[in-house]
Amino acid sequence: MIQLNNGISIPQMGVGTWTLRGETARLNVCLALQAGFRHIDTAQMYENESEVGQGILKDHIRRITAKMAPPSAPVPSATRK
């Protein structure tokens, strides 16, 4: 586990989603969560939020964090407010 500056700990080992798209992204996230991973590395710039989100929702995970682009950057259509 890695302890953040605010005292919260997150798993050190995570599953990357940068290259994943479509059904492959959804399925890989589901399989990672079923295998016990709780750190899914995701970011707005990967442009696969919808598919990664579908995989997370299918496994009933209650909380995630993601890296977001600065306010001046274009916002992909999959981003929700």
Catalytic residues: 46
Residue 64 is encoded by which pair of tokens? Answer: 């995630």
CA 11 to chain centre: 13
For β-strands 15-16 and 40-41, DSSP reports them as parallel
Residue pair 60/35 in contact (Cβ under 8 Å)? The answer is no
Question: What CA–CA distance (Å, rounded) separates 6 from 3?
Answer: 8
